[in-house]
Amino acid sequence: MTNNNQSIINIIANNNPESQKIHKLLTNKLEKKGFIIPKKYNNNAELNICIGGDGAFLRAVHRYNFTSIPFIGVNTGHLGFFQEVLPENIDIFIEKYIHKDFVVEKIFLVKAKIYTKNESFELYGINEIVVKGTKSKVVHLEIFIDGNHLEKFCGDGVIISTPVGSTAYNFSSGGSIIYPSLKTLQLTPLSPISSRAYRSLLNSAVIPGDLIITIKPEYRYENSILIVVDGVEYKYDDITKINFIIPEKTISRLNLDRNMYWNNLKSKFL
């Protein structure tokens, strides 16, 4: 079957030799089916194919500003939770795509609004946003859920993860795995310390998606806070509070197999 509409597909690959090899192979196969593969990223494309590992997928989504164009990944990395297609299954993927044998899933994000003494900033994460101390310092944080004080935290920091990010840093830090379609955030402590002065939760808490998580650093730590979004560090001075929500903005991903999530969990972790 040939695509007669000359549909555009972006192929985004990292510089790994295997990824570049797959890029060339996939380009040739798609062009033979009638698709246009632009040399540079095209905002009018109907699909983004990301070749690499999970890191390549995350970088691509951030680089193209959380575009509404759906993504699918070809895995040439290690874990490959976002990268559904194996290189040996490219022909199967192309046939499924042409025959529309897939579903489009929405991926919930996490948004942080950072308030300083003079201005505010917004950051979006796919997997997680982490609040921790600079130079591995212990941080002291007041944490609120929808305006209700939850804890006076002391430790290395906290992770605010999305459902798709629950299998990433969150899981490595003892957090729970959350199915991607559930609209929740997860608050996971990093090396929490409990004492008479600080009462920190020792385990993660799953927060409904319509509630606001607020973190306020103690005044003496307002310039010692590091914010890490999907592995990228941000530093702001004079932070007074940070609000975390699930934004209206989402990204889309093609799913070729509804059982892939559970198969991934078993193959990657068990």
Active site amino acids: 54
- Confirm whether residue 175 is marked as ligand binding: no
**Eight-class DSSP state of 239:** E
- The answer to the question of whether 147 is labelled as a binding residue is no
CA-to-CA distance for 90 and 25, rounded, in angstroms?
9
* R_g (Cα) of the chain, nearest Å: 20
Answer positive or negative: Cα dihedral of 38, 43, 45, 47.
positive
Residue 198's CB is within 10 A of a number of other CB atoms, namely 16
156 is annotated as contributing to ligand binding = yes
DSSP strand pairing (9-13 vs 47-52): parallel
**59 is known to lie in a ligand binding site:** yes
169 known ligand binder: yes
To the nearest 10°, the Cα dihedral for 239, 119, 210, 168? -50
Residue 174 assigned ligand-binding role? no
The verdict on whether residue 127 carries a ligand-binding annotation is yes
List residues bridging with 217 in a β-sheet. 141
Establish whether 168 is an annotated binding residue.
yes
Query: What's phi and psi for 264, nearest 5 deg?
Result: -65, -45
Is 42 annotated in a binding site? The answer is no
Q: Which residues pair with 47 in a beta bridge?
A: 9
Q: What CA–CA distance (Å, rounded) separates 89 from 70?
A: 19
Give residues with Cβ within 8 angstroms of 132, minimum separation 6.
139, 156, 157, 158, 190, 225, 226, 228
Q: Is 54 annotated as a binding residue?
A: yes
**Residue 231 is assigned to a ligand binding site:** no
> 55 among the known binding-site residues?
yes
Burial class (CB in 10 A: 0-12, 13-18, 19+), 23: buried
- Pair 56, 22: CB distance under 8 Å: no
148 belongs to an annotated ligand binding site: no
66 among the known binding-site residues? no
Please report, in range form, the residues annotated as the binding site for NAD(+): 54-55, 59, 127-128, 137, 156, 164, 167-172
Please report, in range form, the residues annotated as the binding site: 54-55, 59, 127-128, 137, 156, 164, 167-172
